[in-house]
Chain A
Amino acid sequence: MHIPDAFIPLPQAAVYWIIALVFIALALRWARRELSEEKIPLVAILAAGIFAIQAVNVPIPWGTSGHMMGAALAAIVLGSPFAAVFILTLVLIVQGVLFGDGGLTVMGANIINMGVIGGFVGYYSYRGLLPVFKSPYAPAFIAGWLSLFVASLACAVEMALAGTFPLELGLLSMGLYHAIIGIIEGGITAIAIYLITTARPDIMAEREVVPA
């Protein structure tokens, strides 16, 4: 759901950039306070893996495709929604500047949707569901699905404000496609958490609530 430049008028794009910069500043504060030297390799792996997996568009019905976003995964593994903002911002900058994937003027909106909304919805739905399931995998799947779905609805609202999509049809189309793409998001989120907890049970955030 990388928004291209033409989809949002410049004044609105500027507002999204300002909001995004506030969250980027908070993400840098998170990194300064919470990111220990030990966790740096994990940040690098997550950033690399999320960048690579975002290049894999999986076909879904209706002549459409979608790829994983990775914000829920980053937030869950590193134990903070700001970790998702930190990592997704890096990924989006490289995608936009080197590959023209996602516009530059509208990058603030993309950071809000995929980093901020993806990260916050993913993290807090995971934390909320963990006590219900007592295993990390079902909550990770649902958190992944929900993070993508809600981010896509936010994107539809931005498109409506931009005058690009009518609100109802935008919500319906974005919701329909991303409800399916969310299955990919949820599945890979759960699998990646399994792999990381198996390889390094010590490194996962909140390990007391994540049985290895």
Chain B
Amino acid sequence: MMDKKNFLFAGIAIALIIAAMAPFIASSNPDGLESAFFGIFGAKDLRGSNLDEEMASTAEEEVTAITGNEYSFASPFPDYSIEGLAKFGEAAAVIIGTLVVVGIAFGLSRVVARKS
């Protein structure tokens, strides 16, 4: 059995390794929801793999017109990218995100958890 400290470090290390590799191994295909969206709005066949880029951007305008939700927010690292840095910037972004999540998880848990 692993001791407490090693277990924590091993767990975080595995998460960081996955984070660092993610941009290099991840597929850039649309995800399930996006794919369904493009299919329904005619930019892609349900079981086809070709995406019509022009139809895809029209679809985004169409859906905004349907829902009327025009809210948009400029996140600091849109789509896990850091401006000017290509794949390595993405790896850095996912690593930063992972560390932020660890920090918040620890901080919040410490604040709300019962004392043993």
Q: For residue A30, which residue of chain B has the nearest CB?
A: B112
How far does the alpha carbon of A47 sit from the alpha carbon of B101 in the complex, in Å?
A: 6
Contact of A35 among B26, B27, B69, B109 (CB under 8 A): B109
Contact of B76 among A44, A60, A98 (CB under 8 A): A98
In the bound complex, residues from chain A placing their C-beta under 8 Å from that of B7 are 41, 45, 199-200, 203
How far does the alpha carbon of A13 sit from the alpha carbon of B114 in the complex, in Å?
A: 33
Contact status A66-B32, CB under 8 Å = yes
Contact status B100-A32, CB under 8 Å = no
Q: Which of A119-127, A128-136, A139-147, A158-166 contacts B (4 or more CB under 8 A)?
A: A158-166
- The 8 A CB mask of A18-61 against B (1 = contact, 0 = none) is 00000000001001110111111111110111011101111111
Number of interface residues of B (CB under 8 A): 76
Contact of A43 among B10, B22, B30, B105 (CB under 8 A): B105
How far does the alpha carbon of A115 sit from the alpha carbon of B69 in the complex, in Å?
A: 23
In the bound complex, residues from chain B placing their C-beta under 8 Å from that of A163 are 66-67
Chain B CB within 8 A of A94 CB: yes
How far does the alpha carbon of A1 sit from the alpha carbon of B28 in the complex, in Å?
A: 14
Of the four ranges (under 10, 10 to 19, 20 to 34, 35 or more), the interface on chain A belongs to: 35 or more
In the bound complex, residues from chain A placing their C-beta under 8 Å from that of B71 are 5, 10, 103-105
Q: Residues of B at under 8 Å CB distance from A?
A: 1-2, 4, 7-8, 10-12, 14-16, 18-19, 21-23, 25-33, 35-37, 39-40, 44-51, 60, 63-64, 66-80, 93-94, 96-102, 104-106, 108-110, 112-116
Q: Residues of A at under 8 Å CB distance from B?
A: 1-3, 5-10, 13, 28, 31-33, 35-45, 47-49, 51-53, 55-67, 87, 90-91, 93-101, 103-106, 152, 155-156, 159, 162-166, 169-170, 172-174, 176-178, 181, 199-203
